[in-house]
Amino acid sequence: MPHILLVEDDDRLSKLIAKGFQEAEFEVTAAYDGITGLKLALQNNFDLVVTDIVLPKKNGLEFCNEIKALQPNLPVIMLTALGTTDDKLEGFDAGADDYLTKPFEMRELVARIKVLLKRFSQQRQQKVSVLTYEGIEMNLEQKTVRRDHTPIKLTPKEFNLLKFMLENSERVLSRSEIAEKVWETHFDTGTNFIDVYINYLRKKIDKDFEVKLIHTKAGMGFILKKDYESGTVQ
């Protein structure tokens, strides 16, 4: 479910848009000023931002400019009552990826969001061909893995598990999340297949190296992170 950040200071309009997003099966988080919107954007992993231009505390142009400087791959759609060519150019110059003039139809906004989500998803897939973390190098096109230039042979499932951990390095991953994202199945608490594969991966990624990277956080899951002396995260 795409997670959309909506920055709109008109409470009535914000609720109407949020309702439309929910009906389109988007998850939505709302902010009512530019400063709050910026904080939320930097603290969460949103798939897209929809923002008004005229906002309290920090206007939409400044907000968009700062977001794009920090997260250039986060698509932004601007909503505004300002519809002249110069206004649109100013919005695009601030980094907006699309521009919709009020009043608008919800169907059009949802359609534009879907187009941007698809375009940015394709761009990310094309750009990211090598994942790296602390000496681990995974080539997604050649399906190879090295650590400190030493080749490591992985099975397809081990490869996908390591890929998911590299994409989410330094974040605790629960067993249920790993099962859903890597195995595309709901986690059965009566089995320990996640732990088994984590151990397989540890033997290949960590066993012959002084610095251990795959750690267990008791009762919570696993994390790919440097600088833990033991196998548990404190």
pLDDT in tens, 42-83: 888 899 999 999 899 999 899 998 988 888 888 899 888 876
Q: For domain 3-127, give the fold.
A: Rossmann fold (3.40.50)
Question: Would you place residue 233 in the very low, low, confident or very high pLDDT band (cuts 50, 70, 90)?
Answer: very low
- What does the pLDDT read at residue 73? 82
Residue 230 has pLDDT above 50, yes or no: no
H helices of 71-105, in order, are: 85-93
Q: Are strands 48-52 and 76-80 parallel, antiparallel or unpaired?
A: parallel
More confident site: 73 or 145? 145
Residue labelled with tokens 């923002």: 51
**Could you read off the pLDDT of 190-219 as tens digits, one per residue?**
568 889 999 999 999 999 999 999 999 988
Q: Average pLDDT, whole number, for the chain?
A: 86
**Could you read off the pLDDT of 4-49 as tens digits, one per residue?**
999 999 999 999 999 999 999 999 999 999 999 999 998 888 999 9
Class of domain 130-224: mainly alpha
Asked whether this chain's domains 3-127 and 130-224 adopt the same fold, the reply is no
**Pairwise CA distance, residues 4 & 140, whole Å:** 28
Sorted by where each begins, the domain ranges of the chain are 3-127, 130-224
**Integer angstrom CA distances of residue 205 from 96, 168, 215:** 42, 16, 12
